[in-house]
Structure 1
Amino acid sequence: MVTEYTVERVKSGIQGFDDLIEGGFPKGTTVLVTGPTGSGKTTFGVQFVYKGAELYDEPGVIVTLEERSRDLRREMLAFGWDIGKYEREGKIAIIDGVSAVVGLPSEEQYVLEGNLNAEDFLRYVYRVVKAINAKRLVIDSIPSIAFRLKKEEEIRSVLLQFNTILLEMGVTSILTTEAPDPSRGKISRYGIEEYIARGVILLDFVEKEVELKRYLLIRKMRETKHSMKKYPFEINENGIVVYPSGELY
């Protein structure tokens, strides 16, 4: 008798997206969201954590390494997302990884020191995840981790170590990175991110009648049947909306 294998799914909170991945991300997986500047990577990650708290009662941690926590909260209000509300309820924690690096004081509860090495960085994130019993984690972004390390050649070993720790945590994680040239197959800054992640999602643009349109492509998703089609999406007042049955313009 063959035992049926089922994969526990974590809903993304991205409207229309779960239809493309059999109902959600595999629980405990690490997903890389990559794309050029302005493609929506940060919004995708924050929406994943925010909707987890709002709709599914799943706490989440956001590690922001490119903008201050206060700026992130303000920007997300454009979508009606009151992150502060869920911080006060202990359902969301934002780790400020910017202030110390640029030499600014921070009044945040969770702040990364400016001179942390890779092990200290990982240990701090782990502590915050455990402190709020987080089920979801977003790290925005990998190139900013490399910047903090001052030695980009260390990023390969750090990512491998980080992926192992994430899997041990049991959280479902999104890591963001820059795609230097998706049209030529260069979908990550360091060329290793897509190999350590169990899922890879590319957000990019296509030009249509002198206008840039957004599309999403699932390059990889372990334990999941998915198409390799390009799906249109938009960022509106509700955040990211994917159109699973839509034509690519």
Structure 2
Amino acid sequence: MIELTKTGIDGLDDILNGGIVKNSTTLVSGNPGAGKSIFGLQYIYNGVELFDEKGIYLSFEENESDLRQAAESIGFENWQQHVDEGTIKVYDKQALLRENDFSAALELLLDDLDDEQYERLVLDSLTMFQLFFEDEREKRTYLLKFTDILRENNLTTLMTNEQGTVFPETDIGLENFLTDGNIFLLQTPTDSGVNRYVWVAKMRKQNIDTDIFPMELGQGGMKVHQNASAFSMMSEEDSPI
């Protein structure tokens, strides 16, 4: 029996056939404004609020106060209380980038990563994480090392990744193959605004629904609707898959 970690996000766990595989690492990709950070905040917040699972949030892009404001602005009003109580542990860019060296940042994290009380982790984002490294080989080596450490410490992890295109067919990096799952957050402009979609492209050890589903961002965070998008009916030649 495969153990699952529920995201607690409306509609998403249904698509995932129950949740994310426990102790796995899932890459969440999307272009700017697609909702990657909201996804990460909601995943950590729901873990504490709904499932009594403590979480660690690593942000290479925001200060702790910015994260608090972002969380509270979408209705996660107990975020700071959980941070104060230690049920959510935040490492912000000031802490992580202080030494400008990943080994030093990793040493900072190891005590908490070794602490079995934490079950969820978000790294936001890989795009900034990669700035630690001078070349592609070094980046790959440390990414492999880091994902192994996360698994060894029984953490179910989301890593966000900036994607420059609407569809990912020309934007696939090594990180997509190193992780256990790939979730893409898509957005397309319309005359009246933006349409948003979620596509679970891969999840090892798990049967998933690989249609593309509409979603919305607002108070309460991310919400996924169960009616599959018209994207799912595209021809195989035109499909982003």
| TM-score, normalization by structure 2 | 0.88
Residue pair 1:178, 1:187 contacting (<8 A) in 2 also: no
Q: 1:227 to 1:85 in 2, by over 3 A?
A: same
Question: Within 5 Å, which residues of 2 pair with 1:100-249?
Answer: 111-112=95-96, 114-131=98-115, 133-147=117-131, 149-153=132-136, 154-183=138-167, 185-188=169-172, 191-209=173-191, 211-248=193-230
For 1:133-180, what per-residue CA distance to the aligned partner results, in whole angstroms no more than 9, with x for missing partners?
210000000111122x15142211111111111111110000011112
TM-superposition CA deviations, 1:102-123 (whole Å, max 9, x none): xxxxxxxxx3352243333233
Instruction: Report the AA paired with residue 89 of structure 1.
Output: E
Distance change in 2, residues 1:113/1:93 (3 Å): same
When residues 152 and 145 of structure 1 are mapped into structure 2, their CA distance, relative to the original with a 3 A threshold, is farther
Which is further off, 51-60 or 208-217? 208-217
Deviation at 1:80, TM superposition (A): 1.8
Q: Distance in 1 between matches of 2:98 and 2:161?
A: 21
Indicate conservation of the 8 Å contact 1:126/1:169, yes or no: no
In 2, Cα distance between equivalents of 1:113 and 1:131:
22
Aligned residue in 2 for 1:104: none
Distance change in 2, residues 1:207/1:136 (3 Å): same
| Cα-to-partner distance string for 1:44-91 (whole Å, 9 max, x where unaligned) | 011000000011110000001101110110121112213111112221
Match runs of 1:35-54 below 5 Å: 35-54=30-49
State how far apart, in whole Å, the 1-side matches of 2:104 and 2:96 are: 9
For structure 2, the residue ranges without an aligned partner over 5 or more in a row are 232-241
User: What is the RMSD computed on CA atoms of the aligned residues?
Assistant: 1.9
Distance 1:136 1:50 in 2: 10
TM-score, L = length of structure 1:
0.86
The residue number in structure 2 matching 1:103 is: none
Unaligned runs of 5+ in 1: 1-5, 100-110
Task: Give 1:64's match in structure 2, choosing from 40, 48, 59.
Answer: 59
Contact kept? 2:55, 2:121, Cα under 8 Å: yes
Tell me how far apart the structure 1 counterparts of residues 52 and 171 of structure 2 sit (CA, whole Å).
Answer: 33
> Aligned partners of 1:162, 1:184: CA distance in 2, in Å?
24
Contact 2:113–2:150 (8 Å) recurs in 1:
no
Alpha carbons 2:166, 2:187 under 8 Å: kept? no
- The residue type paired with residue 124 of structure 1 is L
Aligned length: 229
**Cα gap change, 1:182/1:207 in structure 2, threshold over 3 Å: closer, same or farther?**
closer
C-alpha contact (below 8 Å) 2:27/2:182 kept by paired residues: yes
Assess, with a 3 A threshold, how the Cα gap between structure 1 residues 112 and 208 changes in structure 2: closer, same or farther.
closer
- Whole-Å Cα distance in 2 between the matches of residues 176 and 129 of structure 1? 19
Moved over 6 A (4+): none
Q: What SS is found at the alignment partner of 1:14?
A: coil
